[in-house]
Chains A and B, each alone.
Chain A
Amino acid sequence: MIRTRARDPGASRLTAADLLRVGSLGLRSRRARAALSALGISIGIAAISGVLGIAQTSKASLLAELGQLGNLLTVQSGSTLSGTQAELPTTAEGMVSRIGPVTGVAEIASLSSVYVYRTPFIPVIDTSGIALTAASPSLPAAVGATVAYGRFLNPATARYPAVVLGAEAASLLGIDNLAQPAQVWIGGHYFTVVGILRPVPGPVEQQTQMDSMAFIGFPVAEQYFSFDGHPTGLYVRAVFSQVAAVAAVLPDTVDPASPAAAQVTEESGILEAEVAAKGAYNGLFLGLGAVALLVGGVGIANVMVISVLERRSEIGLRRALGATRRHVAEQFLAEALLLSALGGLAGTVIGIAATAAYANTQHSQMLIPPQALYSGTGAALAIGALAGLYPAMRAARLSPTAALRTV
């Protein structure tokens, strides 16, 4: 049969508002079924947004705990190819401080053969495990240490027999405060205690053992203990986003002659390991959430197929009233989308509530990545569209007379 376009008697129309009304009709008249079929989607979305929210919240609380220490880099002198202990050049601190994103650098040198005693009368073998370290005045700023009493070394006190004690070193020596002037016996000389540090944050202590150190200036170390002035380590603080780039250029900057001698450790590696350990199950839960979402989508598709079968006469009636195939398809697609959107909304609310409850128990701030919310809602809608597509096509393909023929 050849068809030419006839004069249009006036097309069928279905406004967006009417589509919404028509699409929600099935949900309004079968509430329990709608709620149950949206449940699968809401469980999936709740799992995904809850896991992402809790992961983000716990990561944030970990970061808060560590302060800004995630951007600390350590450079240590390694071994040379011949196996002897390498030394870092005396120019290292100055060179590193000229790297753009570096915001702070401090050099240290461990004076391993010199010990710290409370008085000259302490037996030589009672070293208390205090490590004497030569340090540049910029050390507290570079590692994030703060002074409890007195002050840290400055360019002036670095040239005189002055010492600053780590928190644990001070307590081992029995010096709790500086209310009384205190002196300690170091390598045959009296050193005046000019400052006591507060305990440094856990991760820094893990990496540096600073709490059990005693710090003196480089010049005085060279003068009293025939120290050659070569640092054994550097602490470098860099702009957070540039840490990796700085780490990459550090060996060449520190020791251009033998870059292999400088070993760079990224403190934030510890942080990442800890975050990764906390997030080890996140992937599993996200996977379970995705499975729940998929099952929810299948549930919606199933309910929609049944709905199309049950509502054959409604479809036939709507065709008789002037609905086009497209209008019928749109109606069922809208219904599936509404179902999944309701499920997604409920799931997001549950996920936020779970995150809030977790944040409350951890006394930390609740943080939900916004992309978790977008992607959750987006996934719910995409699943709804997929789930509704087949039933909608079936409904649209139904011939009006077949739909009206009641058994």
Chain B
Amino acid sequence: MTQTLAFPSRPAAPSAPVLELAGVIKEYPGDPPVVALGGVDLRIVEGELAAIVGPSGSGKSTLLHVMGTLERPTHGVVRIAGEDTSVMSDKQLSGLRARRLGFVFQQFFLLDGLSVLDNVAGGLLYRGGRAADRRRLAAEAAEMVGLGHRLRHRPNQLSGGEQQRTAIARALVGRPALVMADEPTGNLDTATGGSILDLLRGLHAGGTTIVVITHDAGVAAATDRRIEIRDGMIISDTHAGS
């Protein structure tokens, strides 16, 4: 069962591309060079919930890094919210990540020294502004992922599922154009993983654009769109019900 989580409340314009990859090639130096992505074209539109599926070594992590501007492609263009990232400086890319993108990682990457509230507020840290405002928004986001009663707890006092919810709240708090989740259920048991998937679907129903990267076919089955990748190439792109 999926509840609708109306946060963030971006005006829906279903056809606008949030993310566009055109002819993206990523090579790592070596002899011969290792080709991690061999020419990827991909378009994610606003409001989508898509899964990128592939076995380990298929290049899906590299794809996530390139999509998330954490790494530049060797060739090709990555556009986020219509802007060409290849002409941006490192500083501008940082600004883009701070304002347009949200990340969820398999290992959660929460900071042990901070409470749940401050970890979530960390999603807004590099936008500046008043700390009190950031905490207020963080409390709302934590409430939405079901952690309203855990705000003062430290990450090591939380279950794995609660830690991942904290990380999701941190990715959402800035109402990014696109949330990228890298194996969000990879470190969780099946039941907890299922509840995290439900949370992501609920967020999607509320209008958040989400890309999940996974090797788990079960996770991929829970999404509307399924993009299969193998050896750095997209081999299939199917929409649920089509």
Given A9-B92, A9-B99, A319-B94, A14 and B126 contact (CB-CB distance below 8 Å): yes
In contact, A324 and B94 (Cβ under 8 angstroms): yes
Within 8 A of A (CB), among B107-148: 107, 109, 111-114, 122-123, 125-129, 131
Given A25-B114, A323-B94, A324-B90, A404 and B70 contact (CB-CB distance below 8 Å): yes
Checking B89, B97, B113, B128 against A13 with a beta-carbon cut-off of 8 angstroms, the contacting residue is B128
Given A9-B100, A401-B65, A404-B105, A321 and B86 contact (CB-CB distance below 8 Å): no
Interface readout for A236-253 with B: 1 if CB under 8 Å, 0 if not? 000000000000000000
CB-CB nearest in chain B for A17? B131
List, in ascending order, chain B residues with CB within 8 A of A321's CB: 97-98, 103, 122-123, 125-126, 170
Q: Report the tally of A-B residue pairs with Cβ distances under 8 A.
A: 122
- Shortest CB-to-CB span from A8 to chain B, Å, is 6
* Complex Cα gap A197–B112 (Å): 79
In contact, B92 and A8 (Cβ under 8 angstroms): yes
* Complex Cα gap A325–B85 (Å): 17
In contact, A5 and B70 (Cβ under 8 angstroms): no
List, in ascending order, chain A residues with CB within 8 A of B131's CB: 17-18, 21
Checking B95, B97, B111, B128 against A320 with a beta-carbon cut-off of 8 angstroms, the contacting residue is B97
- Shortest CB-to-CB span from B177 to chain A, Å, is 10
* Complex Cα gap A68–B98 (Å): 69
Checking A3, A9, A318, A319 against B87 with a beta-carbon cut-off of 8 angstroms, the contacting residue is A3
B151 interface residue (CB < 8 Å to A): no
Bin chain A's interface residue count. Answer: 35 or more
In contact, A4 and B87 (Cβ under 8 angstroms): yes
In contact, B65 and A29 (Cβ under 8 angstroms): no
B5 interface residue (CB < 8 Å to A): no
Checking A25, A316, A325 against B90 with a beta-carbon cut-off of 8 angstroms, the contacting residue is A325
* Complex Cα gap A204–B128 (Å): 70
* Complex Cα gap A318–B114 (Å): 14
A140 interface residue (CB < 8 Å to B): no
List, in ascending order, chain A residues with CB within 8 A of B100's CB: 9
List, in ascending order, chain A residues with CB within 8 A of B71's CB: 399-401
List, in ascending order, chain A residues with CB within 8 A of B85's CB: 6
* Complex Cα gap A18–B131 (Å): 8
Bin chain B's interface residue count. Answer: 35 or more
Within 8 A of B (CB), among A1-57: 1, 3-15, 17-18, 21-22, 25-26, 28-29
In contact, B68 and A320 (Cβ under 8 angstroms): yes
Interface readout for A149-178 with B: 1 if CB under 8 Å, 0 if not? 000000000000000000000000000000
Given A314-B111, A320-B97, A13 and B105 contact (CB-CB distance below 8 Å): no
CB-CB nearest in chain A for B112? A29
List, in ascending order, chain A residues with CB within 8 A of B87's CB: 3-6
CB-CB nearest in chain A for B114? A25
Given A6-B92, A319-B70, A12 and B98 contact (CB-CB distance below 8 Å): yes
* Complex Cα gap A327–B122 (Å): 14
In contact, B70 and A6 (Cβ under 8 angstroms): no
Interface readout for A390-407 with B: 1 if CB under 8 Å, 0 if not? 000000000111001010
8 nearest interchain CB pairs?
Answer: A322-B98, A13-B128, A29-B113, A322-B126, A324-B94, A400-B70, A317-B109, A12-B126
Residue contacts A-B, CB under 8 angstroms, 15 given: A3-B89, A5-B89, A11-B91, A12-B126, A13-B129, A15-B128, A18-B131, A25-B114, A28-B113, A313-B109, A317-B109, A318-B126, A324-B126, A399-B70, A404-B105
